[in-house]
Amino acid sequence: TASFAINYNKPEYIQKPGPVRFITKIWHPNISSVTGAICLDILKDQWAAAMTLRTVLLSLQALLAAAEPDDPQDAVVANQYKQNPEMFKQTARLWAHVYAGAPVTSPEYTKKIENLCAMGFDRNAVISALSSKQWEVEAATESLLSN
Amino acid sequence: MPQVSCRVTLGLLPPACQHCVLLSGTKDSRLEFPFGGLIVLRDRDLGVGVSCRRRPWDNKPRDASQSGAMSTRHVTCRYFIHGVCREGARCLFSHDLTASKPSNICRFFQKGQCAYGSRCRYDHIKPSGSLVVFSTPDMAPAGLVSPPGPPPSEEPIAPVVRTTPQRREKKSLVLRDRNLSGLSEEKSQSNPSWNPNHGNDAYKADEEVKPQSYLEAICTGLEEVDVAQCFPGDPGQLCPYAAAGACQYGEECVYLHGEVCDICGLQVLHPYDQDQRKAHEKLCMANFEHEMEKAFAFQASQEKVCSVCMEVVYEKSSASERRFGILSNCNHTYCLTCIRQWRCAKQFDNPVIKSCPECRVISEFVIPSVYWVEDQSKKNELIEAFKQGMGKKACKYFDQGRGTCPFGGKCLYLHAYPDGSRAEPEKPRKQLGSEGNIRHPEWMVYVPVPMAD
């Protein structure tokens, strides 16, 4: 089990939803790994006046269970999801472990993170870089240095 | 053929009407109608329209000799009072308001109640003053003009001394009325205990008067004759007070007290008149069913919650918000305010806002309703009534043919040309999206129909 924090402002009007975004970092094709912005139709053009906080949360739960890589918010994640589903799964698990308190994770990825962190990089930046660069340490280091 | 109505207003002279010729030169303006008649417009009439009403084919002056023998000169012409007598000088009735007896008293008002109230075109004069004759107790048995008045006092009422010719005339009116309606005679015979004035001199004198001719009857008591003629062979009039709940005379009342209706619980069933009974029962039953339906509808609506604001619709703070906005194609409940607000949303495509916020079924229109309607047949009735109501209003887009309506034949509003002919139904143009100029029509979001009770 993992728990995610979500920022949801009460909708001011029945005509549009309140702004929603993830505060907890998450690796998901439809959620920005940087900002937490969510790509979900009902939060945009398919909003309906009868929707409530409950229906919004249910929709988010469904979105987490079944990603929509063809309508991505985060292109890097979506790409990985399509090209290397197994890697995506491991990465998502790692993110859930690190940020949302999920139990198990891949020891291989953890080791790579520790190595880069030992070089003095910020942990979050290391995780992001490794995840984006298909867990290739050299490419990730390069991207970390260039920032 | 329509009736031609010429309207001449003093401020708008000379008159536009070809029938009317204005004679000037006197202090008062005089308006003469060539086919007969003269109306004097006084200062007080300034600005008040005077109508000359006649049918165009009715050019031949009325032959006065037809009814020349009749003398109704001292009875005020009731058309003249309203400025619409087309007989003019040839009129058999008097056009002089000061010297004639008004005959335009509302008899319903005199009986107690006039459904037209202040809008009644007849005078609402309670029997009093110069019309005292109507309220003298010995008139009451006629049961025609005066409502059941106060109980007749036991002491004899002094006869009114009438000396002027006009007074005498009115007195004869009293007598006339008594004898005219055979009804009254029957009544006073059948209720001998009723008339306390039996020993009164005036009353005795009355009895000696011979029955008068029809003409005399007309001359004196027009409205009384009318009333008598209105109820030919009336087996007895029901007491309106008893019918409304309580009659202070009880058993003593000269009017018939009806039997109690099982449904409404009022004394309204005529003892002999089967037609009246049937008619009343039918009406009462229909009323009762209507009330029941309303009660059921209220019950069904009572706990309905708007899916948008999550409030019980009947418990919304302002009474005007306690209405449903019923979608034509699905059965999800919304209050009118919320669904209208949703359908007015600007940032979505038409299909989104036209769809039900819960099931996303698209409904073309919202029907305002005080009651919640779910049953399909009732809903169809509601939709039909709604469409008919809308169909009477002119479409703003069509603008009597000057504009084009993007909704064509699908538009609920009236597409008619100035001459009243309907436009051929045409296919609706493709509606533009939220960025386009044309949005959903007004009736899809806002429907200004009066609240149905």
| B chain contacts of residue A19, beta-carbon cutoff 8 Å | none
Global pTM reads 0.49
Sign of CA dihedral B53, B58, B60, B61: negative
- pLDDT given at position A31: 93
Is A45 an 8 Å CB contact of chain B? yes
Residues in Cβ contact with B15 at an 8 Å cutoff, skipping those fewer than 6 apart: B6, B8, B21, B22, B31
CB nearest to A45's CB, from B334, B344, B348: B348
* Angstrom distance (rounded) from CA B356 to CA A133: 45
Asked if pLDDT for residue B12 goes beyond 90, the answer is: no
Question: Nearest CA of chain B to the CA of A135: how many Å?
Answer: 41
More confident residue, B435 or B416: B416
Residue B242 CB-density burial (10 A; 0-12 exposed, 13-18 middle, 19+ buried): buried
Is A66 an 8 Å CB contact of chain B? no
CA-based nearest residue to B284, from B298, B267, B296: B267
- pLDDT given at position B323: 92
Average pLDDT, chain B: 66
Give the mean model confidence (pLDDT) for residues B380-401.
88
Element (H, E) at B48: none
Of B305, B306, B308, B330, which to mutate for an interface test with A (greatest number of A Cβ within 10 Å)?
Answer: B308
- pLDDT given at position B162: 42
* Angstrom distance (rounded) from CA A67 to CA B279: 72
pLDDT confidence tier of residue B57, bands split at 50, 70 and 90: very low
- Interchain pair B346, A15: CB under 8 A: yes
- pLDDT given at position B100: 63
* Tens digit of each residue's pLDDT (9 = 90 or more) over B71-99: 667 777 777 777 777 777 788 777 777 76
- Interchain pair A49, B357: CB under 8 A: yes
Asked if pLDDT for residue B312 goes beyond 70, the answer is: yes
* Tens digit of each residue's pLDDT (9 = 90 or more) over A79-105: 999 999 999 999 999 999 999 888 877
Lookup: tokens for B270: 């005529």
What backbone phi and psi angles, to 5 degrees, belong to B30?
-120, 140
More confident residue, B64 or B304: B304
- Interchain pair A16, B352: CB under 8 A: no
Q: Give the catalytic positions of A in this structure.
A: 39
Pairing of strands B49-54, B38-41: unpaired
- pLDDT given at position B244: 82
pLDDT confidence tier of residue B38, bands split at 50, 70 and 90: low
Running DSSP on this structure, what letter comes out for residue B419? T
* Angstrom distance (rounded) from CA B405 to CA B403: 7
| A chain contacts of residue B337, beta-carbon cutoff 8 Å | none
SS3 B368: strand
What backbone phi and psi angles, to 5 degrees, belong to B117?
55, -135
Residue B212 CB-density burial (10 A; 0-12 exposed, 13-18 middle, 19+ buried): middle
Asked if pLDDT for residue B13 goes beyond 80, the answer is: no
- pLDDT given at position B32: 54
* Tens digit of each residue's pLDDT (9 = 90 or more) over B147-172: 444 444 444 444 444 444 444 443 33
Lookup: tokens for A33: 């790994």
Q: Which of B5-14, B134-143, B223-232, B388-397 has the highest mean pLDDT?
A: B388-397
Judge whether B370 and B381 are in contact, CB under 8 Å: no
Lookup: tokens for B340: 């209208």
Lookup: tokens for B429: 């143009």
- pLDDT given at position B258: 83
Judge whether B86 and B6 are in contact, CB under 8 Å: no
Residues in Cβ contact with A103 at an 8 Å cutoff, skipping those fewer than 6 apart: A1, A97
Angle ∠(B182,B184,B186) on CA atoms, nearest 5: 70
* Tens digit of each residue's pLDDT (9 = 90 or more) over B369-378: 999 988 889 8
Residue B7 CB-density burial (10 A; 0-12 exposed, 13-18 middle, 19+ buried): middle
Rounded to a whole number of angstroms, the distance between the first and last alpha carbons of chain A is: 34
Q: Which of A8-22, B26-40, B45-59 has the lowest mean pLDDT?
A: B45-59
Lookup: tokens for A114: 């520790």
Q: Over the range B35-65, which residues count as b (16 or more CB within 10 Å of their CB) and which as e? A: bbbebebeeebeeeebbbbbeeeeeeebeee
Question: Nearest CA of chain A to the CA of B403: how many Å?
Answer: 32
pLDDT confidence tier of residue A10, bands split at 50, 70 and 90: low
Q: ipTM of this model?
A: 0.74
The answer to whether the peptide bond before residue B450 is cis (omega within 30 degrees of 0) is: no
- pLDDT given at position B144: 40
- pLDDT given at position B182: 41
The one-letter amino acid code at B41 reads: L
Asked if pLDDT for residue B346 goes beyond 60, the answer is: yes
How many contacts does A have with B, using Cβ atoms within 8 A?
46
Asked if pLDDT for residue B348 goes beyond 70, the answer is: yes
Q: Percent of chain B at pLDDT above 90?
A: 8
pLDDT confidence tier of residue B189, bands split at 50, 70 and 90: very low
CA–CA distances in Å: residue B156 to residues B12, B136, B199, B201, B400: 59, 11, 8, 10, 72
| A chain contacts of residue B346, beta-carbon cutoff 8 Å | 15
Shortest CA distance from B434: residue in chain A: A45
CA-based nearest residue to B7, from B31, B27, B24: B31
| A chain contacts of residue B339, beta-carbon cutoff 8 Å | 49
Q: Which of A75-89, B266-280, B281-295, B323-337 has the lowest mean pLDDT?
A: B266-280
Pairing of strands B93-94, B72-76: parallel
* Angstrom distance (rounded) from CA B244 to CA B249: 14
* Angstrom distance (rounded) from CA B107 to CA B226: 10
Find where tokens 């031609």 sit: B4
Is A16 an 8 Å CB contact of chain B? yes
Shortest CA distance from B342: residue in chain A: A15
Asked if pLDDT for residue B33 goes beyond 50, the answer is: yes
Q: In this structure, how many other beta carbons lie within 10 angstroms of the beta carbon of residue A14? A: 21
pLDDT confidence tier of residue A29, bands split at 50, 70 and 90: very high
| A chain contacts of residue B347, beta-carbon cutoff 8 Å | 15-16, 45
How many Cα atoms occupy the beta-carbon half-sphere of B255 within 13 Å? 26
* Angstrom distance (rounded) from CA A108 to CA A142: 20
CB nearest to B342's CB, from A15, A45, A52: A15
* Tens digit of each residue's pLDDT (9 = 90 or more) over B396-421: 888 888 888 888 877 888 888 888 88
CB nearest to A45's CB, from B307, B341, B349: B349
* Angstrom distance (rounded) from CA B150 to CA B249: 9
